[in-house]
Structure 1
């Protein structure tokens, strides 16, 4: 194992094959062994007041942020004030995130016990019916103003802020950006939902106001990604890949500006374009 700046990877030997004309990369059909950096993936069990709630597959870094962000965006607590304690406990084969929450929220949680295991992040996390799955937070505010140029600045800077992705090619990133397009915080994980939960949890734990910036994610914009953005109070989510139909519908209902297909030089705005000023 090697670790730096919260990034954990494993060294493995791999067999690489390469095809091409002789002289470009050596003889055609070359086979060789090399060291690969493989992203760590471990089961992470969430327990509340010593009662098991869910098991997620995740990258074993920024776990306190994960605990707080997941709890808030899933509506398991009303705010960070309802979380009394978070402990990261190594277990055989995985990690436990042991949280203590106030009794009122724990009683509420006990009425909707849900089981889910073995998934790499899940925004719905075992909801028992359609009403639970399609829950809606309070509509977001209308204070954010940014620009097409600012969003492009953030998109072009994203790659340089993802050390785990650079080393393994297996991680999603979620960034918090200023209205001017500066990346102020970023979290990575093998799961896109996990990365966003970690980002939101980190912001809340540091006392930052998520609504003061916008989210940039290296994945598609699914319903649950927009849901988590809205639950944190962020008014805009910028996704490198495509949105889903339900994501667009939810963004319209919750007041979130949804931007997809964000690549250098282009992006598509699907909802509430009035938050975005012209190029400049």
Structure 2
């Protein structure tokens, strides 16, 4: 049987074999400094490195990541990236600012201020789309389309996905064991292909927490569609950033933010 990327077979005590998702430590290294180690699916890793750099604000445009390489280690994978002088200087200053002796321990962040970073304000896009991708009647179609476009999930039943919905179709999909990783991979894939995130919306398989809103806002996304309810903080941050949220409410999908005036 041919397996999709990111899936492996493992033996069971009964003698049968199960198809499971791969989960590998992936170190994201910029300018020789390890920024994060994520447990991730080991495919689309070039997209992952670029997308992470964009959604975390290390670079503001794809060309600032000058080159990258993948290095296989005994226990995982290193993704190494080198930045242009402007981004490199900003990265170094950020590292110095976060090098204090005490950390708050909040999801690995070293300061409480970093947890709620200022987000760019989304402006109304003039990009032409074939159909409004933020219409409620199309949001359910977007979620169903994403579910049908997950070969790894079909094989293992254990991974997340992020897709780019134009209003009529999914233009791109990325899968990963981590919901944040899937969104970072999608961000990188959009940037590599020169696709404007504001020309459609991001569709996720996971709940909407504030960190996913932050990542979407950092790449200039217009909105997010998700199959479960957002957190209150995610709604507040999305509203402040002018990001539309469509997610599951008590009686079906609803708009959680009002961004008509953006």
TM-score (norm 2): 0.87
- Match of residue 19 from structure 1: none
Equivalent of residue 215 in structure 1, options 184, 193, 202: 202
Which deviates further from its counterpart, 81-90 or 67-76? 81-90
Deviation per CA, 1:233-265, whole angstroms, max 9, x where unpaired?
Answer: 1111001112011100001100011111289x9
Which deviates further from its counterpart, 103-112 or 151-160? 103-112
Equivalent of residue 36 in structure 2, options 43, 54, 58: 54
- Match of residue 165 from structure 2: 177
Deviation per CA, 1:187-239, whole angstroms, max 9, x where unpaired?
Answer: 00000000000001000011111111101100000001111111111111001
| Separation of aligned partners in 1, 2:35 and 2:153 | 29
Equivalent of residue 247 in structure 1, options 222, 234, 244: 234
Give matches, 1:1-280, under 5 Å.
4=4, 7-14=5-12, 34-113=16-95, 126-143=108-125, 145-146=132-133, 147-180=135-168, 182-261=169-248, 266-272=252-258, 274=260
RMSD of aligned C-alpha atoms?
A: 2.4
Indicate the structure with greater strand content. Answer: 1
| Separation of aligned partners in 2, 1:2 and 1:228 | 34
- Report the CA distance between 1:34 and its aligned residue: 3.1
Contact 1:238 1:262 in 2 (8 A): no
Contact 1:84 1:99 in 2 (8 A): yes
SS at match of 1:185: strand
TM-score (norm 1): 0.81
Cα distance change, pair 154–262 in 1 and its aligned pair in 2 (3 A): farther
| Separation of aligned partners in 2, 1:168 and 1:262 | 28
SS at match of 2:25: strand
SS at match of 1:112: helix
Cα distance change, pair 150–200 in 1 and its aligned pair in 2 (3 A): same
Contact 2:143 2:226 in 1 (8 A): no
- Runs (5+) with no aligned partner, structure 2: 100-105
Cα distance change, pair 271–99 in 1 and its aligned pair in 2 (3 A): same
- Report the CA distance between 1:273 and its aligned residue: 6.5
Contact 2:31 2:82 in 1 (8 A): yes
| Separation of aligned partners in 1, 2:160 and 2:210 | 17
Which deviates further from its counterpart, 95-104 or 136-145? 136-145
- Report the CA distance between 1:136 and its aligned residue: 2.3
Aligned length: 247
Cα distance change, pair 198–135 in 1 and its aligned pair in 2 (3 A): same
